Amino acid sequence: MIERETIKAGAPSTCEDCDVKLVAEVILSPAGYYVGTQCKCGPYSRESGYYPTEKKALEALRSKEYTR
């Protein structure tokens, strides 16, 4: 994991541009579902790897057992 790439690795927990507090949630991208954060500016960080289904991503988010 690259330093400051994720909130767990030291990235800011508030967007420096729009001042929104970043909260982990399940996000859909063309590559699949992932646990990440977003703000008014758009996607901010990807906190996990990709999951094939929303259900699996939600399970990881709820259990807080996700890593990059």
Tell me what pLDDT residue 2 has. 61
Q: Among candidates 39, 56, 40, 30, which has minimal Cα distance to 48? A: 56
Tell me what pLDDT residue 40 has. 95
The total domain count for the chain is 1
For the stretch 3-22, pLDDT in tens is 678 888 888 999 999 999 99
Assess whether pLDDT exceeds 90 at residue 59. yes
pTM listed for this prediction: 0.86
Tell me what pLDDT residue 66 has. 92
Residue-number span of the structural domain to which 57 is assigned: 1-68
